[in-house]
Amino acid sequence: MDLDPKLSLMALMLVAFAGLATASSFISDDVLAPRGSGGRSLLQAKTDPPFRPSCCHRPVDTQCVLPVLPPIRPSSLSLDEAGASMACRRIQKELQDLQRDPPASCSAGPVGEDLFHWQATIMGPSDSPYAGGVFFVTIHFPPDYPFKPPMVNFQTKVYHPNINSNGSICLDILKDQWSPALTISKVLLSVSSLLTDPNPDDPLVPEIAHMYNNHRRRYEEMARSWTQKHAMG
């Protein structure tokens, strides 16, 4: 039986269309959605946003976190206060020693409650023109005592080559020969010894030193006269 050519052509077109549909299904499953793509087609993959690792979605902390350190607290005492505290302990110890074992012909102690300001008395040595006199002396301790010498001055006027009219004393241990090992007790004994044995080679009053060297009797008369006038009142 002969088929109509038109029907034959339509039949071929239907067969071709069916085959194309079958091939499309295979392409969709195997090509457009390959393994490992999560079931998405290539067309879908093209329209998806670009892939980024999950870490990129986390906010980045750009601040450096440092450990919290305890606050630096200054010492409760400054250097000056610490030095004054050390001086107080030293002065108190010397005061106790003076009260327990006072030096011969000398006495000393604080003025009121001021531990750094003392008043002392020195009895004129019996073998000197100052015998019988009572000489008052002021003592001022520096804040860094005993590393610096005390300031010692006569309040009583003294006719002496090493003691001027202001009461200043020219004595090596009160200047460059001072040592922290020295004490006020030793200083008072040295001052008392200076009344007996002046040092005309290092005078504070050159005129009196000249008289001491060249007119000893005249010097002794003047020293005795000043003692009677100023130290025996």
| pTM, rounded to two decimals | 0.66
- In sequence order, the β-bridge partners of residue 140 are 117, 151
Q: How many CB atoms lie within 10 A of CB 71?
A: 5
Residue 6 lies in a domain: no
Residue 170 annotated as catalytic: yes
Residue 107 lies in a domain: yes
Q: Are 212 and 161 in contact (CB under 8 A)?
A: yes
Kindly report, residue by residue over 148-192, the tens digit of the pLDDT: 999 999 999 999 999 999 999 999 999 999 999 999 999 999 999
Total domains in the fold of the chain: 1
pLDDT surpassing 50 at residue 72: no
pLDDT surpassing 50 at residue 196: yes
> Which CATH number does the domain housing residue 156 bear?
3.10.110.10
Chain CA centroid to CA 184, Å: 29
Q: Which range marks the domain in which residue 202 is found?
A: 79-230
* Predicted pLDDT at 26: 44
Catalytic residue from among 55, 88, 106, 170: 170
Residue 36 lies in a domain: no
Cβ-based neighbours of 130, under 8 Å, separated by 6 or more: 124, 158, 195, 223, 224, 227, 231
* Predicted pLDDT at 23: 46
- Weakest-pLDDT range from 60-69, 153-162, 212-221: 60-69
Q: Are 128 and 192 in contact (CB under 8 A)?
A: no
pLDDT band at 146 (very low <50, low <70, confident <90, very high): very high
